[in-house]
């Protein structure tokens, strides 16, 4: 094992590099299936095989439009009009990528011959290496976890927000494949992802680590709360009736970043916790009781100013102007921790009002662009505002002291720093003023 390399608290946050679009790679152009990439901006890019067979206008047709709106694992039948006007029956699958939604089109020949199918699976695996999602389950893939994790660790240290991870392993999964078949095993994997996605928060991230193992990054979450989440997930799996009928359980290891370790060391602790869970009878959660949250609880939390950098620009003038204003208001709130109640309440009100107005404006812009993720983004906005209101109400008179910290940290770190600098920024990167 390598020696742990801590990430200094003052270190500049590494930018998550946006991978080139798949069509920039030779294998996209020459992929054995017809491919179409519907970008976040609504733009369309197709490979050579698609261009030779189909009219790009078919993407706007009912079958494929529905597919782009509901991406997920599994092949679905669709009838597409070819270049010569004939209707061709194909099997279609939509895969979420960082750049947009990728549509794969295959004929019966490609999906019935073993040699063709083996080759196809190899090529999809290769395509996955430059994408962000696992083609079977729809969860983020391991390569995307590698890209995201360093940024999340840096943000955790900068804003003094805990970061926990859950390593989830499906118990006796090999027996499912051996006794029920690989189709049953694939169905279990997809259902496990569906159940986890329905339980975690919109801010949390689910990744397929490999095989039957998954990772949940629980942001702004102490190991104690991550343990509670893990127990909920464990109980959810144990109580669910899976398609193949046999019970399915999971073992889960939990750990919180301790501020003095690199990614390898963090996952070594996760592995150790999971090992204990599996060797103690399975269907249980084991948590490593160490993390930044205990250290930070014992010391005062210094006010940290948010800094606007050019890399935070989305490219949309209105959005960037509103983001800069929100950063200013967040910094004002951060310095008002010891202010009289009236001044503190004014700082909170100003930031909340600006957030609500920004969310409304942003949703209108996304609706105009036909953004496919608008409904989910609108729910995220509503959740942020509701949580902020709950924290404000729970503070009573908002007297100076520790009662103010949860509200300040949520508004500054979660609603502004995390949501605006990452989620919102990515929505408009490809737009032009």
Catalytic-labelled residue, pool 128, 212, 322, 409: 212
What length is written for the chain? 433
Residues 344 and 252: their CA atoms lie apart, in Å, by 42
Of the chain, the end-to-end C-alpha distance in Å amounts to: 49
Residues 214 and 226: their CA atoms lie apart, in Å, by 15
Query: Token pair of 143, please?
Result: 């390569």
Residues 204 and 391: their CA atoms lie apart, in Å, by 20
Bridge partners of 77, per DSSP, are 91
| Residue 42 phi, psi dihedral angles, 5° rounding | 90, -5
Question: What is residue 3's DSSP assignment?
Answer: P
Residues 6+ apart with CB under 8 A from 181: none
Query: Are the C-beta atoms of 380 and 358 separated by less than 8 Å?
Result: no
State the greatest distance between any 2 C-alpha atoms of the chain, in Å, as a whole number: 74
| Residue 374 phi, psi dihedral angles, 5° rounding | -60, -45
Residues 13 and 355: their CA atoms lie apart, in Å, by 24
Cβ neighbours around 113 below 10 Å, total: 12
Known catalytic membership, residue 337: no
Query: Are the C-beta atoms of 239 and 284 separated by less than 8 Å?
Result: no
Query: Token pair of 406, please?
Result: 């949860």
Bridge partners of 91, per DSSP, are 77, 106
Residues 273 and 250: their CA atoms lie apart, in Å, by 13
> Residue written as tokens 């908002």?
398
Query: Are the C-beta atoms of 21 and 38 separated by less than 8 Å?
Result: no
Cα dihedral 43→48→54→60 (10° resolution): -10
Residues 6+ apart with CB under 8 A from 229: 166, 199, 200, 216, 218, 221
Active site positions, annotated: 212
């Amino acid at each position: 094992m390598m020696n742990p390399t801590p990430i200094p608290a003052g270190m500049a946050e590494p930018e998550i590099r946006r991978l080139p679009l798949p069509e920039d790679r030779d294998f996209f152009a020459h992929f054995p299936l017809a491919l179409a990439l519907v970008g976040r901006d609504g733009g369309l890019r197709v490979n050579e095989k698609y261009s030779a067979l189909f009219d790009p206008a078919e993407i706007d047709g009912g079958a494929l439009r529905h597919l782009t709106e509901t991406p997920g694992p599994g092949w679905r039948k669709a009838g597409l009009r070819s270049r010569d006007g004939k209707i061709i029956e194909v099997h279609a699958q939509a895969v979420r990528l960082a750049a947009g939604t990728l549509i794969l089109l295959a004929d019966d020949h490609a999906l019935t011959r073993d040699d063709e199918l083996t080759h196809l699976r190899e090529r999809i695996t290769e395509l996955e290496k430059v994408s962000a999602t696992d083609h079977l389950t729809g969860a983020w893939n391991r390569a995307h976890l590698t890209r995201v994790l360093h940024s999340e660790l840096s943000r955790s240290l900068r804003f003094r927000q805990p970061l926990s991870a859950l390593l989830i392993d499906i118990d006796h999964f090999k027996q499912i494949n051996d006794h029920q078949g690989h189709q049953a095993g694939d169905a279990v994997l997809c259902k496990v992802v569906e159940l986890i996605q329905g339980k975690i928060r919109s801010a949390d991230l689910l990744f397929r680590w490999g095989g039957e193992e998954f990772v949940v990054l629980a942001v702004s979450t102490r190991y104690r709360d991550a343990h509670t989440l893990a127990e909920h997930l464990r109980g959810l799996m144990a109580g669910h009736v899976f398609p193949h009928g046999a019970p399915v359980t999971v073992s889960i290891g939990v750990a919180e970043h301790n501020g003095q370790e690199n990614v390898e060391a963090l996952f070594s602790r996760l592995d150790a916790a999971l090992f204990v869970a599996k060797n103690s009878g399975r269907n249980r959660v084991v948590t490593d009781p160490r993390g930044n949250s205990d250290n930070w609880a014992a010391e005062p939390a210094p006010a940290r100013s948010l800094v606007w950098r050019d890399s935070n620009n989305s490219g949309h003038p209105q959005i960037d102007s509103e983001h800069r204003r929100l950063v200013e208001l967040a910094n004002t709130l951060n310095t008002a921790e010891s202010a009289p109640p009236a001044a503190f309440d004014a700082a909170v009100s100003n930031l909340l009002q600006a957030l609500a107005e920004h969310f409304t404006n942003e949703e209108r812009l996304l609706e105009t662009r036909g953004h496919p993720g608008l409904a989910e983004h609108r729910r995220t906005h509503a959740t942020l505002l509701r949580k902020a209101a709950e924290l404000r109400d729970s503070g009573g008179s908002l007297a100076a002291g520790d009662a103010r910290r949860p509200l300040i940290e949520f508004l500054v770190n979660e609603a502004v720093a995390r949501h605006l600098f990452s989620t919102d920024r990515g929505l408009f990167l490809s737009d032009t003023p």
